[in-house]
Structure 1
Amino acid sequence: MTSRNSDGRNGNEPAGEPAGAGTAHDYSATLFLPQTDFPMRAGLPQREPELLARWERIDLYGQQRKAGEGKPRFVLHDGPPYANGNIHIGHALNKILKDVVVRSQGALGHDSNYVPGWDCHGLPIEWKIEEQYRARGKNKDEVPVVEFRQECRSFAEGWIDVQRAEFKRLGVEGDWSHPYVTMSYDAEAQIAREIVKFAGNGLLYRGSKPVMWSVVERTALAEAEVEYHDHTSSTIFVKFPVTGYRKSAATAGGLPKGLEPASEAADIHLFPSYEGASVVIWTTTPWTIPGNRAIAFSPNVTYAVYEVTEAPHDNWAKVGEHFILADKLAEEVFKAARVTGYERHREVDPTHLVCAHPLKGVEGARDYFDFCVPVVPGDFVTDDTGTGFVHIAPGHGADDFNLFMSAHLGEVPHTVGPDGRYYDHVPLFAGARVMDDKGKDGDANDAVIKALAGADKLIARGRLKHQYPHSWRSKAPIIFRNTPQWFIAMDKDIAAADGSTHAGDTLRARALGGIAQVQWVPASGQNRITGMIENRPDWVVSRQRAWGVPIAVFVRDRGDGTVEILRDNAVNQRIADAFAAEGADAWYQEGAAARFLGNDHDPAEWSKVDDILDVWFDSGSTHAFTLEVRDDLKVNRAFAGGPDRVMYLEGSDQHRGWFHSSLLESCGTRGRPPYDVVLTHGFVLDEQGRKMSKSVGNVVAPQEVIKNSGADILRLWVCASDYSDDLRIGAEILKTTVETYRKLRNTLRWLLGSLHHYREAERVAYADMPALERMVLHRLAELDGTVREAYAAFDFKRVHAALTAFMTSELSAFYFDVRKDALYCDPPSSVTRRACLTVLDEVFARLVVWLAPILPFTAEETWLARFPSETGSVHLATFPDTPAKWRDDTLADEWRKIRQVRRVVLGALEVERAAKRIGSSLEAAPVVHVSDANLFAAVSAVDLAEVCITSDAHLMPDEGPKDAFRLPDVPGVAVVPNRATGHKCARSWKISPLVGTDADYPDVTPRDAMALRELAHARRAAE
């Protein structure tokens, strides 16, 4: 120990050998000083790799599996990280939390297993290979698809090896030799089987809907693949001339029926004496105007006709024009339109209004825009921004599409292709691009704005900086685009094997019911994923890329725009068998269609679907080719010894990612979630709460922390943090963590050194122990409950706080300090000394195992320092049972009172030390005045000098003199810090009038003389 003790001695110096004292005898060899080879300096960066090698050499993982046989299982199913780069601090947080869960569940008595996994398919890897191609001037489209896929596979394999080494370096124990990977042949075969199950239960269908589309990556994206960043968009206010009204709300079967030119009477009825009124819309996507087919309004918003009465002569909004606007937004609209005077006429109900498209009749439009634009109610319309009306382009937005289809307003137009260009059939704009291949704005917006201005349908334009969806891979903005895709239906009744259905048995209903059966940590996760499932659209599972598992089905056109899926078990079996033997590459080999269809189906009639599956479907299916296949991961939720459980643990973004897709996949095919517990953690920020960025220079790399301080420091930081929220890390935070670790290590080191003198034969029974020892055992009993409960609840911060406080404040700063004199100086026969060693043995047995999940390297090093073994490990131990009789709340309350009085004494001594009236606390013999009867009774029961580490102490049942030292928060206690009288003991350094009373040992106290006699007798007996 490097810190100076209250008695002035240093724990590494031989007590009884005062430097320069000039004593006649050197008694240092007679003291029971701590002895250990456990180094004060951890050297974790060097020591940890040695322990990792040892764990591999002794097959620690295999031993853990054998030790867990027959116990209830707790399986931590790994959410597969993506195999495309070095790990970052978020990976470290995730893997450390998983390892703490696995180790602590094992110590709690479970067969707790961890099999690491990797996600290998998908666009990020494909994108990397394409980048390499572009750098070499190579065209991907000229490379055979199987060859390209093999390059993707090799790329992923390389990064799996890199990440495996980095994860293991964190101290994560698992079956690293047999991980699961989504690109293994057996995994690809099972993923194919899983999508076929959705085809079989009727939920898989091909439809044409607007989906999030990456122009840069040329594929549809899932919501989990999208992130939001600032983006500056062009904004426009557009006039849609009112042409009439719908006499009937009946609109089924196409465009609104009952349309006719508005009569004079109708005009007067709607707009008395006003003609040429226009509904005004506002949009941040001018390029979607060619796809407009309706306008939405809100029945909860008040609208009126406004006339422009004053405006600049060159203004787009001209004097005399009439606009229909939401009352709440009219002022802002006219301000944007540079209108300096306007007049409100009468309120308008937009229901059943019909407008013309603003580009109707424009030269070169070839009557493409000559259709009616109905005004329909929409529950998503508000009067917070814009005009109170929303233009509906059903091919470019989910709300737009749903409203358009529910109102039966016709077919959804296709205006923009996969490359972001308008199709050739779109007049005026054919070939114009919404954005280019790098994600930059194309010329489409300017072209549309120019056309609208030329048609006199624009009243204002502007720019708006707002949050806009971007691909999380390419970081480029995305668009919503109507395109044929494969979907899994959320609200269709699920068909059983015999084709029967039960009303209301939908994927959404199953998922919502399943959520309630799961333990969510923190509990708020349940509400979050519930809201997502309640509101999510059908699951888009197709991607227009090459690296992944194909949607391995065959289809044929029905002639009505839909397709029929081939349902043939023999075909499905051939596909799965081929994937299991050759991988999903078999789907892309020449002649694959004829091979799988066999002789029963004509390849000319049935088409092979070449779209690949969304990677979230891959990872959502991992339970099917890991938990249900591997014997070491299978669970029995009706296990007699306690139900087996499966945990999923990832960042909070996975409520819309892996947790989400796994829930839907499993509920759709098995009727229940694949997990029993879901734990989520936040993201890692810098010390100022900012997102880490290389450009900002605030990135903390786990590799650097490990290189400089060791993995146990990272692990201690993780467990000291509230992982349910975003975590912060940086130089100062790590500095604090290192200091905490140093204190913990010093406590362990002193324990080891003192236990060098422990002999099991000298063990003291609980009933024979002094009160102080029984109080420490009481604290162990309390901590046993706290630690078990916190680990079981995955509350690692609570474990860290409890153990750190106990080790630093209660052991090092109190119990060890008080008992050092007895441990070092008492005779070998001393009950106090032997009882203390007995308690230290019990403390060690628990502390090291309690700490092991958090600090696996340090706990192992500590364990082996006391119990050297060729094959043993602290990580094979479970939390020791703690006798119930140790719990003594009455005794603990008494010691709480004693420590209150002790605080006042130590405060008085500190004043004396600061004034240089004393040096060591052993130079004092304080008089302690205690007027509080309860405190007096408690303190009377102990040796106050021993507790306060003074040479003597006198207890008085009174108020004490006015000038005595007091602490405001401990009333009834006053201390007069008198100096001790007598001579200094050459062995214990205590000052006592009894020094010199023993003729054989005149320079020590009688206690020390007894110790010297016993030692001399033992030495003679040994000779």
Structure 2
Amino acid sequence: MTDQPRQETQDYKSTVFLPVTDFPMKAGLAQKEPAILAHWEEMDLYGKLRERRKGRRRFILHDGPPYANGDIHMGHAMNKVLKDIIVRSQSLLGYDAPYIPGWDCHGLPIEWKIEEEYRKKKQNKDEVPAQEFRAECRAYADKWVGVQKEQFKRLGVMGDWDDPYLTMKFDAEATIAGELLKFAESGQLYRGAKPVMWSPVEKTALAEAEVEYEDIVSTQIDVAFEIVEAPNAPEIQTLIDNAFKVSAVIWTTTPWTIPVNQALAYGEAIEYVLVPEGGSKNVYLVAKELAAIFLTRCGDQGNVPGVLAYPEEDWASLRGTDLAGAIARHPMHHLGGFFAKPRPFLAGDFVTTDAGTGLVHMAPDHGEDDFALCKANGINPVFAVENDGKYREDWLWLGGQGSVINPKFVGREGPICTDLREAGGLLAASDDFKHSYPHSWRSKAKIIFRCTPQWFIPMDQNPSPLAGEGRAPLTQASGKGEGDNAATLRELALNSIEHTRWVPERSINRIRSMVEGRPDWVISRQRAWGVPIALYVHRKTGDYLVDKSVNSRILKAFRGAGADAWFGADHQALLGPDYDLNDYEVVNDILDVWFDSGSTHSFVVEGRYGEGVRADLYLEGSDQHRGWFQSSLLESSGTRGRAPYDAVLTHGFALDGQGRKMSKSLGNVVDPLKVIAESGSDILRVWVASTDYFDDVRIGKEVLAGSSDAYRKLRNTFRYLLGALSDFSEEERLPVAEMPELERYMLHLLARLDADLRSVVDKAAGSENWLEFSRYTRALMDFANSDLSAFFFDIRKDCLYCDAKSDPKRRAYRTVLDTLFHALVRYAAPIIPFTAEEVWQSRYPNAEESVHFLEWPTVDAAWLDQSLDDKWAEIRNRRDQVNEAIEPLRREKVIRSSLEADVTMGELVPSDGVNFAEIAIVARIEMGKGDGIVVKPSDWHKCGRCWRLLPEVEEDGALCNRCDEVLSA
């Protein structure tokens, strides 16, 4: 101490080394981010990053194409942000991680919007020339590509926005057609009439991925089909011979299929009973197990009031096998023609006693089981229901009427039930059966199963020998060896599933079960906008033409003018001199849009990076197991014998804050564009990165407030680092070996954090946590808040402010801060790219550089010191206990800060090399005395500069030895 203590009133503020930075505490992201985005575009950040990573190993995340038909919603935002976080993190690892955004431009989503405009004008789309209509679809898609592009860029998504992929680009359309022709050339294509999901509103077949299920209330009916012959069921035949009317009863929730009925199905192992109607000679055949439910329906809803007259013990019974050879007649048989034909009983293994009557009416036009069973017995579809859901004009019953999805038409008082009732065939009917039913996810209208001629890719057919060209053999499943191309598409796809990494791991079960049970892939659509099925079918043989020269001419035309070339083509010129156009039908069906998107790997991944290259990762919502993941899997397996991806990540859906699906009608839609305009993209990105997105996630005001708070704390960590490092230079850096234990402990924690974060982003690490960014974000935030702000920074602020600039402890602290800065700004860059850029430019203002050029920080493995873990865990635990004991005195204003506290405690704290009073930020601590922790105000005086209470300070305001030396230097 000096002989003459300085005056208590002297102001030492100017002598304290306070942090200096112009980095603002208030983010103002909504205003700052557009300027940062403009700077990135001006400097060509994406292009320069490609140059800097040129020659590195690539990491390719292939973008699943959204539809270009409206503003983005929260699901889009969540999906694109997650992709961007992954791409940026792979670039940070040093990979060349390109991102080619893309759009699905064909198909019903766009065509439906154009049709809506026609409907508003009361115009018929079918009367517009195809080329004109397609041009309108193209213009509509192009408009929304432009709009969505800017919205995605505003999210901070970095990619090749100047050259995205569009399925409607001419080269893309040519490649899609070429992929179809590969299936044709290998014999993996056929045209057949099978029931497919059909939208009467949109007048086209639908893929499973285009269907959603909603609860509806339908009409359920019980209908009697009179049995006219039962040669193997004497119980029935005897009744018929004695003038009894024995009827097989069927139950259905689709009354509109009764006019197309052609047979009845029974279960061979089911026990049936003959239920007599009291006061008449009517007898009803139903499954014994379902008889009581049937009788209840008849009593509650029906026209058979006397059916309960006979007790159950009087009912005759028979086995299902006894119904072999039985014949019934349609309740409308009196109309003649189709309805007068006999209806045979057929054994069906799909018939159960789960519901109904144990007998099922067969309409091969409108059910997969119906179609297969009838086909096996020589019964063919009749195509009675037209593409708009009405019966054919020439149909004997209800011709020209419908639509079959209209509740009034099929309801209890509608014409179907009315006619059946008058014919004596309707036993019960009600309009109150609630069940799940498929709807078109675009029009939201109910769909039907309808048998129409369609083009299919078979799942279980062995390809022709031509498949050897470009189609790899199956080598790892079902025992087929190298060079054996007999594997079916289903086998190849299932094999590919097993050799793909699925994130989360449980999602493999979903895709596997879907592929195991899926029917043949219907790839044709009866629409106008899309890539045509560019085939010629021989009018006599029904075979499609397979000629590589013809196919080459077709693809050349497509590359020159796109798919439009097919509709205005000189088809004779395309066929060439070896074929006569008069002998061929030109196919004008449109390809399923899922085939389009399923082919994107061919013209995006392979097209840009080379034949045989496949994506490291596909990433979409869980609905894409039946959509893009599956169509891509099937397309690539059918043409290349393998999946187009090495790994697949599935995320859930964005729900409102209460866990409900977002809906305009509920008024609970959270618009990402509004969130960005109010709070900025980085807040939204923190939300995405923090969620357990493998499941459905919630977003609302409270959730976003939590994301804002987490962001604010991390921003303040950076602000502190920038201020504390304002004049740091390399000359100040101190070797790790010369650092105090606290600094070495922090480097140990940083090394451990580094390993945790790397396990999330680096596939090569083999971690189960790969791509689990909620873990990444939580670890980063916890480290910044708990380890740094609440612990390390808090303890060392005295050192930073008051130690001499040359003091080794201060130098060690600032050296570690610099190390932390360079690590944290890199770790944070994929999550909050705008803020990370702002932080980097604040410290290193260079317009030609960017934080996003940086690579993963170098962390010395030697920093890991497990011996420090237990020791410092104990120290931190005791520190928390001391703070807890001090808090009551602070609340009661006995002391103003922990620096004024003297603490005695019974427990001993590991103290070798550690000043625990400094760690706890108190005046003094005595350990090993008494029980528990006792806190009292210190009787020492406060230093006027550092505010610490120390024994050498003779009066408040005087200087401690350290501060005196600093000021005297």
Please state which band the TM-score falls in when normalised by the shorter chain: over 0.9
Q: Relative to 1, partners in 2 of residues 1:265 and 1:900: Cα closer, same or farther, differing over 3 Å? A: closer
The CA distance in 2 between the partners of 1:265 and 1:24, in whole Å, is 117
Q: Which residue of 1 aligns with 2:604?
A: 626
Q: Are 2:522 and 1:566 equivalent residues in the alignment?
A: no
The CA distance in 1 between the partners of 2:728 and 2:491, in whole Å, is 63
- Secondary structure (helix, strand or coil) at the match of 1:844 reads helix
The CA distance in 1 between the partners of 2:187 and 2:109, in whole Å, is 31
The CA distance in 2 between the partners of 1:392 and 1:815, in whole Å, is 76
Instruction: After TM superposition, list the pairs within 5 Å mapping 1:3-18 onto structure 2.
Output: none
Instruction: After TM superposition, list the pairs within 5 Å mapping 1:8-407 onto structure 2.
Output: 23-245=8-230, 267-268=237-238, 275-309=244-278, 319-338=280-299, 339-344=307-312, 345-351=315-321, 352-362=324-334, 365-405=335-375, 407=376
- Secondary structure (helix, strand or coil) at the match of 2:453 reads strand
Q: Relative to 1, partners in 2 of residues 1:450 and 1:155: Cα closer, same or farther, differing over 3 Å? A: same
Instruction: After TM superposition, list the pairs within 5 Å mapping 1:943-1022 onto structure 2.
Output: 943-955=915-927, 957-958=928-929, 960-961=930-931, 974-996=932-954, 1003-1014=958-969
Q: Relative to 1, partners in 2 of residues 1:125 and 1:496: Cα closer, same or farther, differing over 3 Å? A: same
1:476 to 445, 464, 483: 445
C-alpha displacement of 1:235: 1.1
Q: Are 2:422 and 1:454 equivalent residues in the alignment?
A: yes
- Secondary structure (helix, strand or coil) at the match of 1:305 reads strand
The CA distance in 2 between the partners of 1:217 and 1:498, in whole Å, is 35
1:925 and 1:953 in contact (8 A); partners too: yes
Q: Which residue of 2 aligns with 1:663?
A: 633
The CA distance in 1 between the partners of 2:709 and 2:957, in whole Å, is 44
- Secondary structure (helix, strand or coil) at the match of 1:337 reads helix
The CA distance in 1 between the partners of 2:667 and 2:523, in whole Å, is 38
- Secondary structure (helix, strand or coil) at the match of 1:374 reads strand
Q: Relative to 1, partners in 2 of residues 1:772 and 1:300: Cα closer, same or farther, differing over 3 Å? A: farther
2:900 and 2:938 in contact (8 A); partners too: yes
Q: TM-score, normalised by structure 1?
A: 0.88
The CA distance in 2 between the partners of 1:272 and 1:946, in whole Å, is 107
In structure 1, give the amino acid aligned to 2:729: R
Unaligned runs of 5+ in 1: 1-20, 248-261, 310-317, 638-644, 931-935, 962-973, 1015-1023
The CA distance in 2 between the partners of 1:634 and 1:878, in whole Å, is 29
Q: Which residue of 1 aligns with 2:749?
A: 779
Q: Which residue of 2 aligns with 1:410?
A: 379
The CA distance in 2 between the partners of 1:65 and 1:286, in whole Å, is 61
Cα deviation code 1:524-563 (max 9, x no counterpart): 221111111111111111111111110001112336xxx1
Cα deviation code 1:722-744 (max 9, x no counterpart): 11100110111111111111111
Q: Which residue of 2 aligns with 1:551?
A: 533
The CA distance in 2 between the partners of 1:701 and 1:301, in whole Å, is 55
The CA distance in 1 between the partners of 2:909 and 2:70, in whole Å, is 66
2:272 and 2:288 in contact (8 A); partners too: yes
Instruction: After TM superposition, list the pairs within 5 Å mapping 1:787-936 onto structure 2.
Output: 787-792=757-762, 793-930=770-907, 936=908
The CA distance in 2 between the partners of 1:846 and 1:34, in whole Å, is 20
Runs of 4 or more above 6 Å deviation = 270-274, 498-501
C-alpha displacement of 1:664: 0.7
The CA distance in 2 between the partners of 1:615 and 1:64, in whole Å, is 34
Q: Relative to 1, partners in 2 of residues 1:444 and 1:911: Cα closer, same or farther, differing over 3 Å? A: closer
Cα deviation code 1:428-469 (max 9, x no counterpart): 211111347xx6754698222122212211110012122111
Percent of matched pairs sharing the same residue = 50
The CA distance in 2 between the partners of 1:188 and 1:322, in whole Å, is 62
C-alpha displacement of 1:817: 0.4
The CA distance in 1 between the partners of 2:236 and 2:866, in whole Å, is 88
Q: Which residue of 1 aligns with 2:656?
A: 686
2:686 and 2:831 in contact (8 A); partners too: yes
1:514 to 490, 493, 496: 496
Q: Are 2:566 and 1:578 equivalent residues in the alignment?
A: no
The CA distance in 2 between the partners of 1:158 and 1:518, in whole Å, is 37
2:266 and 2:346 in contact (8 A); partners too: yes
- Secondary structure (helix, strand or coil) at the match of 1:368 reads helix
- Secondary structure (helix, strand or coil) at the match of 1:596 reads helix
- Secondary structure (helix, strand or coil) at the match of 2:709 reads helix
- Secondary structure (helix, strand or coil) at the match of 1:113 reads coil
Q: Are 2:680 and 1:707 equivalent residues in the alignment?
A: no
- Secondary structure (helix, strand or coil) at the match of 2:451 reads strand
Q: Relative to 1, partners in 2 of residues 1:825 and 1:280: Cα closer, same or farther, differing over 3 Å? A: same
The CA distance in 2 between the partners of 1:444 and 1:467, in whole Å, is 17
Q: Which residue of 1 aligns with 2:576?
A: 598
C-alpha displacement of 1:982: 2.8
- Secondary structure (helix, strand or coil) at the match of 1:176 reads coil
Q: Relative to 1, partners in 2 of residues 1:819 and 1:569: Cα closer, same or farther, differing over 3 Å? A: same
C-alpha displacement of 1:271: 9.4
Q: Which residue of 2 aligns with 1:429?
A: 398
User: Which segment is superposed worse, 503-512 or 108-117?
Assistant: 503-512
Q: TM-score, normalised by structure 2?
A: 0.93
The CA distance in 1 between the partners of 2:39 and 2:578, in whole Å, is 59
- Secondary structure (helix, strand or coil) at the match of 1:629 reads helix
Cα deviation code 1:765-789 (max 9, x no counterpart): 1111111111101101101110000
The CA distance in 2 between the partners of 1:996 and 1:558, in whole Å, is 114
1:358 and 1:452 in contact (8 A); partners too: no
2:943 and 2:949 in contact (8 A); partners too: yes
- Secondary structure (helix, strand or coil) at the match of 1:579 reads helix
Q: Relative to 1, partners in 2 of residues 1:388 and 1:1010: Cα closer, same or farther, differing over 3 Å? A: same
Unaligned runs of 5+ in 2: 1-5, 300-306, 470-482, 763-769
Q: Which residue of 2 aligns with 1:487?
A: 456
1:308 and 1:341 in contact (8 A); partners too: yes
In structure 1, give the amino acid aligned to 2:577: N
Q: Relative to 1, partners in 2 of residues 1:476 and 1:114: Cα closer, same or farther, differing over 3 Å? A: same
- CA RMSD between the two structures: 2.2
C-alpha displacement of 1:190: 0.8
User: Which segment is superposed worse, 701-710 or 421-430?
Assistant: 421-430
- Secondary structure (helix, strand or coil) at the match of 1:910 reads helix
The CA distance in 2 between the partners of 1:655 and 1:988, in whole Å, is 63
C-alpha displacement of 1:695: 1.2
Q: Which residue of 2 aligns with 1:756?
A: 726
In structure 2, give the amino acid aligned to 1:1006: N
Cα deviation code 1:878-928 (max 9, x no counterpart): 111211111111112101111121122111110111222111111112122
C-alpha displacement of 1:337: 0.2
User: Which segment is superposed worse, 773-782 or 457-466?
Assistant: 457-466
2:330 and 2:343 in contact (8 A); partners too: no
Q: Which residue of 1 aligns with 2:708?
A: 738
2:599 and 2:636 in contact (8 A); partners too: yes
- Secondary structure (helix, strand or coil) at the match of 2:68 reads coil
C-alpha displacement of 1:607: 1.5
1:435 and 1:441 in contact (8 A); partners too: no
- Secondary structure (helix, strand or coil) at the match of 2:247 reads strand
